[in-house]
Amino acid sequence: MMAERGLAALLVCTEPEVRYFTGFHTPFWQSPTRPWFVVLPADGRPIAVIPNIGASAMGTTWVDDIRTWPAPRPADDGLCLLVETIEEVVAGQVDGSGDEVRIGLPMGHETHVRMPL
């Protein structure tokens, strides 16, 4: 489905989406200010980009690429790490033709982006 839509990756960041794709469960979802990200590359395994407090719990899932930041960090809260991760994922898909690389986000009724703006 991602290939049909020309997506290099899918970014999920809500509890139901992260749980569906990883099996990850944590009570920290109750904090509306703590972002949790999973990048699902079109080719390759998922990458969790999460606060360091969730690393051990994410380590019990099938996700083996877990990248963390020391939270809370209100000025950034993992966004620089997320950008680095996405850049790494799409780097192999840039062919110099000038074509855009597309990152998808789910568009469900309860989808929201949990990150500072």
Say if 113 falls within a structural domain. Answer: no
CA dihedral 16, 37, 117, 99 (to 10 degrees): -110
pLDDT at 55 (0 to 100)? 94
**Domain membership of residue 57 as a residue range:** 7-93
pLDDT at 112 (0 to 100)? 74
Q: What's the number of domains the chain is made of?
A: 1
Rounded to an integer, what distance in angstroms lies between the CA atom of residue 48 and that of residue 46? 7
Residues whose CB is less than 8 angstroms from the CB of residue 106 and which lie 6 or more positions away in sequence, other chains included: 10, 12, 14, 17
pLDDT at 69 (0 to 100)? 93
Say if 116 falls within a structural domain. Answer: no
What CATH number corresponds to the domain at position 81? Answer: 3.40.350.10
Say if 114 falls within a structural domain. Answer: no
State the pTM of this model: 0.88
The encoded tokens of residue 102 equal 């597309």
CA 58-8-3 angle, 5° bins: 110
Q: What is the pLDDT along the chain (117 residues), one digit of tens a residue?
A: 788 888 999 999 988 999 999 999 888 877 777 889 999 999 899 999 999 999 999 999 999 999 999 988 888 889 999 999 999 999 866 655 557 889 998 887 777 776 666
